[in-house]
Amino acid sequence: MAAMFTCCLGCCGDGGSGHIPLKEMPTVQLDTHHMGTDVVIVKSGRRICGTGGCLANAPLHQNKSYFEFKIQSTGVWGIGVATQKVNLNQVPMGRDTNSLVLRHDGSVYHNNEEKNRLPANSLPQEGDIVGITYDHVELNLYLNGKNMHCPASGIRGTVYPVVYVDDSAILDCQFSDFYHTAPQGFEKILFEQQIF
């Protein structure tokens, strides 16, 4: 009996502690494998500068996603969602079916068509936080926590958060620990294994 008990303890592989190490969940951040050639990503995958675009490393699988961008330095920029087919060297985005983005001038573009526009007195400035909700049909925008009532739709397929910069713009991405509370029913981006 004692021999069987010892065998069971010894067979656990770690000296018998009985604990199975859990894999650390990956962090949602900008993906250096999916960025333009003149893009620079710093601050642990949270800040973009240079020229071009970058996708986040997690697709929006869940029903209702929320994420934010802080404008650290103004210039030419855009934020939204895109498929992996988007041209990350082309600025501005929104010229084809592979991206749906808010541009720095307040216009929301998809397939080279203006889908909506922020109110003229609500253009994001340096230091502002732009929040984005996406529910697989509609993208909505929030400025410093306030709903801009500026919905846009049209993109199809698996999409990722996307950001592009040019002309000295610097943006920080916030995929968790938000500056503003996510709108009701929306939550941070989850990796597929976290959903189930």
Report pLDDT for 23: 64
pLDDT (tens digit, 9 = 90+) per residue, 33-57? Answer: 999 999 999 999 999 999 999 999 9
Report pLDDT for 17: 55
51/110 Cα distance (integer angstroms) = 20
Task: Please give the share of the chain, as a percent, with pLDDT higher than 90.
Answer: 83
Residue 7 has pLDDT above 60, yes or no: no
Report pLDDT for 25: 73
Report pLDDT for 6: 44
Report pLDDT for 27: 93
Contact 172, 86 (CB under 8 A): no
Residue 8 has pLDDT above 60, yes or no: no
Write out the two tokens for 192. 């597929």
Report pLDDT for 74: 97
Structural domains of the chain, with CATH: 30-174 (2.60.120.920)
Write out the two tokens for 42. 């710093």
Strands 160-166 and 30-35: unpaired
**Model pTM?**
0.86
DSSP string, 71-116: EEE-SEEEEEEE-TTS-TT-SS--SSTTEEEEETTSEEEETTEEEE
Residue 2 has pLDDT above 90, yes or no: no
26/24 Cα distance (integer angstroms) = 6
**Overall size of the chain counted in residues:** 196
56/38 Cα distance (integer angstroms) = 17
Write out the two tokens for 127. 């230091």
| pLDDT band per the 50, 70, 90 thresholds, residue 192 | confident
